Amino acid sequence: MYSESAELYDLIYASFKNYEEETDRLFEVLSRARPGLNTVLDVACGTGEHARLLAERHGLSVDGVDLDPTFVQIAQRKSPAGRFALADMSDFELGRQYDAVMCLFSSIGYLRTLDRLTRAIGCFRDHVAPGGVIVVEPWFPPGVMTYGYTSTDVGESGGLQVVRRARTEIDDRLSRLHFDYDITQNGQTRHVSEVHELGLFTLDEMRGAFETNGLVVDYDPKGLIGRGLYVAR
């Protein structure tokens, strides 16, 4: 979880992530799969940027859930008309269904185990209205990531600068991302760190999680940003 950096998330990812372009592509995918859709549930919604843009650019009604309370608060501020709730994506019950349920930007990897993945897809299915669609953007499968890979991202706004250095470890079927932050404001710099663990699921395992829950799934190897995309009904 982004326990140390939730308030900085948008600043960091705005430096390299084109949310507007992604959201327009996403709307095309959702509209093809569920023509005339109106309601969407964004699972592991983060700061709600996709939700905000789907509402503002495409007129959709978007709710969301996330495990991080700060993310939920930020998402709710961005989209006051939506309903954003604190929930675990593998075990939630909102009491309503949607034309589409989506889980983007590899958030599905935070489930870590195949059992939790399967349970999460079951929750997604239970929240889809008849004729609706589920869209999941996966994390990397085994054998793709490089142990020891490093990267640096920098975000700046209004006198605040954040430098995030990332280092990747692979432990069997688990990827571990070490994030170290240098946060500078008013001439003062503080340092915080986080460790994120994401499960490495094969294509067959991902397909199986949908099929076990009675869903028919298609896979687009490119998807929105090159990580692939599962579209299930």
- Sequence-distant (6+) residues with CB within 8 A of 68 are 1, 2, 3, 6, 46
Mean per-residue pLDDT pooled into runs of 10, the chain (233 residues): 82 93 98 98 98 98 97 98 98 98 98 98 98 98 96 94 97 97 94 97 98 98 97 98
Neighbours of 179 (CB within 10 A): 18
Cβ(31)–Cβ(129) under 8 Å?
A: no
As separate numbers, helices (DSSP H) first and strands (DSSP E) second, the chain gives 6, 11
Q: What is the pLDDT of residue 15?
A: 87
CATH number at residue 52: 3.40.50.150
Q: What is the pLDDT of residue 201?
A: 98
> Is there a domain that residue 145 lies in?
no
CATH number at residue 190: 2.20.130.10
Same domain assignment for residues 31 and 44: yes
Q: What is the pLDDT of residue 1?
A: 65
Same domain assignment for residues 72 and 93: yes
Domain encompassing residue 192: 150-199
Same domain assignment for residues 113 and 216: yes
Residue 198: name the closest of 75, 73, 105 by CA: 105
pTM: 0.96
Same domain assignment for residues 46 and 94: yes
